[in-house]
Chains A and B, each alone.
Chain A
């Protein structure tokens, strides 16, 4: 009995460590946190950002594994949605950049000076696709 509990705890911990380190590795590869510190010139605060990610991940785990209900006003969802969107936007931008799509594309079609307009196509495409998805595409 005891051995069952201990073993289950051990398995849970092992799974958590694997997923947690994978998550950090993913964030590190994409370099979102360095990019944000570079933009805001807050390199010294980077340890606080680490803890922010850790607490965020733990809060997300609690929210998805337990069923907490907070009974807060729904207006709170606006900044929350915005923050989630910015984060996913950073992820998406980092991914396109890692894949080196733009430099090669710009070189091929000889539009090095208009690359920002092409990038805006990407940005507007993401916004449009997302809005279309939520407002029209999903209809259950």
Chain B
């Protein structure tokens, strides 16, 4: 009996995210990592767990609870061990929509002038001009209305500081760690994923009394 149990065990780890095209049939081995005895693995790994159809929107949550019946229907009584996440986020990728260049340029210019205006408002708000005049006076002892020798390096340093913080000079990284921006993008994606896992999965919530 002990030997039988080991032979009939399948370990399943659902993948976190899967990208498919519309009308694809999703096989078990696409949606999960599997470990099992070879003959068992051959039998189950190509079984279809989901068919993407017209009525699906671009995100489908496939819960492991939907996968288990398909497995047991195929091969009968087996011992299933689930490891890791209990659902996969299936992303249906429709025709790749390219980024429109005019829109991109528009956003670029929007950010450019927005950033320029914001820094000018900041300088006025904190009386940066007066502070710079004062620093000029302290260091050199002379009076200057426009201490550009201080202000031009300041302006270039401003850009340098931002690049330093984000750890990127265009595509080139300054060191191998992820930048705060990449971490922030990751966190945002994780939040979105957690939201869809709960809200797009009709089995995750149940009302006993429908009021």
Contacts and interface: CB of A to CB of B under 8 A. Distances in A.
Interface residues of A, number: 73
A56 interface: no
Interface residues of B, number: 65
Contacts of B115: 121-126, 129
Interface stretch (A9-17, A43-51, A75-83): A75-83
B150 A89 contact: no
Given A69-B137, A125-B116, A118 B107 contact: yes
Nearest to B115: A125
Contacts of B166: 93, 97, 119
Interface in B108-140: 108-109, 111-120, 122-123, 129, 134-140
A112 B174 contact: no
B180 interface: yes
Contact of B170 (A77, A116, A125, A127): A116
A119 B169 CA distance: 10
Given A38-B177, A138-B146, 9 more contacts: A75-B149, A93-B165, A103-B184, A118-B107, A120-B170, A121-B111, A122-B112, A127-B156, A133-B120
